[in-house]
Amino acid sequence: MATTTILLREDIDTLGGRGEIVKVRAGYARNFLLPQGLATLATKGNVKQIELERNALLKKAAVEIATAQAQKDQMGTIALSFERKAGDGGTLFGSVTSMDIAEALQAKGYEIDRRKISLRDAIKEIGDYTVRVKLHREVTLEVPVTVTAEGGDEVADPKAEKKGRKAKAEETVEEPVAEAVAE
């Protein structure tokens, strides 16, 4: 596979930070990074220009980190609560997604892009969850999220309910065996 050496103009999670020189596949550079303005070819002239801009970039990065840290301190006490329709076992009809969390944060006055919200899968059961919000590459915030059943109906914890069923099933299986051994 052909590779190309490029100079990153923006922070990219999978590649590296702004100002770094990295090797990527030629097609990725040609079709995505270069047209989006996220990188430039690593020629001697471009490298020299970035080195001249490095001080400005370092100052800009320090300001971004300080801003993200201040936002994290400001959002430190935030907690989100969602009320959704749920079945008897605590399974939601639908789910709570990163878009729902972004909208709830926006309603509280915080503009967070949904792609900055780290959620492996959509939340599909009632309960308490912790969602990571990436404010900056180096600053993350953990937001507690509570999902309850709509209408305030108390639905038993589905995990505890399943454990209870399993324990009851084991008890019923063990009793006849004990009686057979006693005879």
Q: Which domain holds residue 28?
A: 3-58
* Highest mean pLDDT (candidates 31-40, 113-122, 144-153, 164-173): 31-40
User: Residues 85, 127: one domain?
Assistant: yes
Non-local CB neighbours of 44 within 8 Å, separated by 6+ positions = none
pLDDT at 11: 81
Identify whether 127 is part of a domain: yes
Tell me how far apart the alpha carbons of residues 171 and 177 are, in angstroms, rounded to a whole number: 10
Residue 183 lies in a domain: no
Query: Is 113 part of any domain?
Result: yes
Q: What are residue 125's DSSP bridge partners? A: 91
- Rounded Cα distance between 83 and 64, Å, is 35
Give the count of domains, the chain: 2
* 98 and 144 fall within a common domain: yes
Cα separation, 103 vs 145, in Å, equals: 13
What pTM, to 2 d.p., does this model score? 0.61
Q: What CATH number does the domain containing 118 carry?
A: 3.10.430.100
87 and 146, same domain (yes or no): yes
More confident residue, 115 or 154: 115
Q: How far apart are the first and last CA of the chain?
A: 74
For residue 35, what are its two tokens?
A: 């047209």
